[in-house]
Amino acid sequence: AYPLRLATLAWEPFLKSDKAGNVSFSFTNSDKLSTYYVQVFAHDASMRNATLRREMVVTIPVKISL
């Protein structure tokens, strides 16, 4: 049997903004040296949508750049 190798990691938190409209969160990722893409999908109470896609690079020493 071959080990399971997934190319996509999905994380679906339910986040709410503060009164100024800001949202913050933190997470722990793999220390594997690689390039990841972070995609954020958001909508407001009126169902207006927005998306954001950024590259995240993990290097030695472990450093994350967005």
Task: Transcribe 36-60 into DSSP letters.
Answer: EEEEEEEE-TT--EEEEEEEEEEET
Q: Which pLDDT does position 49 carry in this prediction?
A: 93
Helix (H) and strand (E) counts in the chain:
0, 3
Tokens of 16: 């709410």
Closest CA to 58 of 31, 27, 39: 31
Tens digit of pLDDT for each residue in 3-58? 666 566 677 778 888 999 888 877 776 667 778 888 888 888 899 999 989 888 87
| pTM > 0.85: yes or no | no
